[in-house]
Structure 1
Amino acid sequence: MHLSRFGLLALAAAAADAFRDTSPFFMASTSELLTNSAYIKTSASLLDDLTSSLSTCPSDYYVVVHQPGVHSSDFSTRKSAPRLGAKMMGKDKSIRSQMSVNEVAGLLDGGHIKSLLQEKCKAETTAIDGSSGEYPSYFDSAPRVIDIEFPMLSLGSDRASQLSDNDGLISDIIDRLPPKSKYTLLYVTSPREFPESDSVIYESDGAGSSYQDPVHMDLKRDYSSYNSDSSDSGSDRRLSLFDEYQFFTPGIFMGLIATFLFVTILYIGVNALSSLQVPYAAFEKDTSAAAKKQ
C-alpha cells in the first residue's frame, strides 16, 4: 500500500514550468483499491483507471474535490496541504490505498466520476461551496458523493494560505463522516492556464432534497499552527510532492532478491568446480594393457 506513497517523485520549479497545461491528481481511500501511481498520465487514461477502481463501489462516502488553478509546484512543501500529505505519505493509518499522478495532461472530468458513482453505486450527492466555508454538520446514509468545489487559487501572496485553508476544510468534512465508515478522497485539479477552468459552483437541485435545511457551521479557522514544524529545518526547500522520493519499490526489492539467489547459485557452482581434484596420472597413457598382450 506504500507504493503510491513512495511514488511522489521529485519535482523542481523549473520542471513544473515545462508542463504548463498539466496539474496533479491525488486519491486516498480507506478501502482496498487497485491503484497505480505515475509521474504523468493523460486525463483519458486516468479516467479509465478511476472507472475501473470505483465501479465496484468500494466505499460508503466519496469526497470529490475540485481545486482549479494549481501546479505540481504548489505541493512542493509540506505547508501546502499538510493533511492531504499525511494521507498520501502513509501517516494516516486508516488509509489503505493511495494514488498520485504528478502531471495529468488535459482536464479530468470530475462530473463523469460523480455520474459513475450515482449510476453504479446509487449514491446521492451533497454539494458544498468551498468558498463559503460552510458545510453540513452531519451526512446522511451512504452511499453518498460529497462534492466540494473550490474557487480558482489566487495568484497573489495568499496563494499558499488559501490552499492550506482548503486542505483544512476537506479534513474537517472528512472528520464529520460517520465513525467506522469507509471513504475515498478524490482530489481533482486543473491548471490555471486554462481560462475555461474557472470555478463552477454545483448547487443541490430539487425541492425534495434533504440538504435544503442542514445544520451549517462557519469554518473560519487559522491553520497556520498546524503547518509549523519546529523540527523540520528544511521545510522551505523545494522538494518533491509531500517531500518523498521513490527509492525502494517492490519491483526493486524482488530484483535484489533474485540477484542474490543467482549470485549464490553461481558462487556454489564455481566453488564446486574449483574444488575438483584430478591426479596427474589421469592424463598419462595407460600402457599396462598393451604390455600384458605382448
Structure 2
Amino acid sequence: MHLSTFGLLALGAASVDAFRDTSPFFLASTSEVLANSANIKTSASLFEELSSSLSACPSEYYVVVNQPGVHSSDFSSRKSAPRLGAKMLGKDKSIRSKMSVNEVTGLLEVKQIKDLLEVKCQAQTTVIDGSSGSYPSYFESGPRVIDIEFPMLSLGSDRANQLSDNDGLISDIIDRIPSSSKYTLLYVTTPREFPETDSIVYESEDAYQDSVRMELKRDYSSYSSYSSASDSSNRNTSLFDEYQYFTPGIFMGLMASFLCLIILYIAISAVSSLQVPYAAFEKDTSSAAQKKQQ
C-alpha cells in the first residue's frame, strides 16, 4: 500500500472532520504481523484482529502507547509525530509490518491488549508515566509489555508540540530495547474533545458576581435542542394528537341524546301509524242507534 509523504493518514486525510467521535490506531512491528489497514473499523473488530495476530507472540517486546484526546486530523502533518510517521511511511527499514486505521469507532481498551499479551505470551508489564518523562535506562529480557500512559492532549495552541514531545519519548523508549530483539508498537488513542461543542454558559463580567457565577450558568444548547425537538414534534403531529376533543362527559351526553331521539322517533312513528275513519266522528242517525238511546 502506497502511503503519501504529505501526511500520516493517507487513507482519509481529506475528511479529517468526518467523524468527531473516532480516533486513529497505528501498529508498527519489526516482526511479521498479519494486519490490514483500513479507513474505518469498529473497536470490537479491531481487537478481534489484534487478538488473532498477537496470540502467536511474534515479538519479544510490545510497546503499548495510550494517547487520549486524539483525532485523525492531529496526524495530518508530518511534524505532529515525525518518528511515528517514519515507521508508518516505510522510512524505518527495520519495520516489516505496519497497520493504520484512520477512524476507530468505540473505545479500544489498552487493558484488553495487555491482558491478552500477559495471558497468551506470559509477558511481564512495565508501566511508564508519560507525563513525568522518566523511564528505565534498560528493559529486562522479554516477553515484556512496555505500557506508556500519556495524559490527554490539551485543547490549546501547544497541542501539536505536546504530541511531538510524546512522539520523541516513544522513540527514546524504543531505542532502549535491545537491537537484537523484535518489538511491536501499538499506538492506541481515544477521541478528542472539541471545545466548540461544549455548552455555552452565561458568565457575568462583574467581579463581585464571581461568588454566584455558578448559579447563573445556563445550558443554552440543551434549551435550543429542546426547542428544536419541540418544534419538530409539533410539525410532525396532528391536532388530534395534541388536544382531546371528546371527553367522557361529552361522550355520555351524546349517547343520552341519541337514546332520547330514538325514543321520540318511536313515539312519533307509533302515533302517526294510528288510522281512524272519518265516520267515527259523525253522529249515527240510524233507527238502531235511536232505539239504543231510548
| Range of TM-score over shorter length | 0.5 to 0.7
Per-residue Cα deviation, 1:118-160 (whole angstroms, up to 9, x for no partner): 0010000000000000000000010000000000001001000
Equivalent residue for 1:68?
A: 68
Per-residue Cα deviation, 1:220-241 (whole angstroms, up to 9, x for no partner): xxxxxxxxxxxxxxxxxxxxxx
How far apart are 1:4 and its partner, in Å? 7.4
Per-residue Cα deviation, 1:219-263 (whole angstroms, up to 9, x for no partner): xxxxxxxxxxxxxxxxxxxxxxxxxxxxxxxxxxxxxxxxxxxxx
Structure 2 CA distance for partners of 1:103 and 1:55, relative to 1, 3 Å = same
**CA separation in 1, counterparts of 2:176 and 2:98?**
21
What stretches of structure 1 of length at least 5 have no aligned partner?
A: 195-294
Q: Secondary structure of 1:36's partner?
A: coil
Q: Which letter does structure 2 place at the counterpart of 1:142?
A: G
Runs of at least 4 residues off by over 6 Å: none
Q: Secondary structure of 1:141's partner?
A: coil
Which structure carries more helix by proportion? 2
**CA separation in 2, counterparts of 1:9 and 1:18?**
13
Alignment size in residue pairs = 191
Q: Secondary structure of 2:25's partner?
A: strand
What stretches of structure 2 of length at least 5 have no aligned partner?
A: 195-294
**CA separation in 1, counterparts of 2:92 and 2:180?**
14
Equivalent residue for 2:10?
A: 8
Residues 13-92 of structure 1 mapped to structure 2, 5 A cutoff? 15-92=15-92
For the aligned residue pairs, the C-alpha RMSD in angstroms reads 1.6
How far apart are 1:5 and its partner, in Å? 4.5
Higher relative contact order (CA 8 A, sep 6+): 1
Equivalent residue for 1:222?
A: none
Equivalent residue for 1:157?
A: 157
Checking the alignment, whether the CA contact within 8 Å between 1:4 and 1:36 is kept in structure 2 is: no
Checking the alignment, whether the CA contact within 8 Å between 1:78 and 1:85 is kept in structure 2 is: yes
Q: What TM-score do you get using the length of structure 1 for normalisation?
A: 0.63
Checking the alignment, whether the CA contact within 8 Å between 1:28 and 1:98 is kept in structure 2 is: yes
Q: Secondary structure of 1:135's partner?
A: coil
Residues 1-294 of structure 1 mapped to structure 2, 5 A cutoff? 3=1, 5=3, 8-12=10-14, 15-193=15-193
Checking the alignment, whether the CA contact within 8 Å between 2:67 and 2:152 is kept in structure 1 is: yes
Structure 2 CA distance for partners of 1:34 and 1:113, relative to 1, 3 Å = same
Structure exhibiting the larger radius of gyration computed from Cα positions: 2
Per-residue Cα deviation, 1:5-25 (whole angstroms, up to 9, x for no partner): 46831423xx32220110000
**CA separation in 2, counterparts of 1:146 and 1:134?**
13
How far apart are 1:101 and its partner, in Å? 0.2
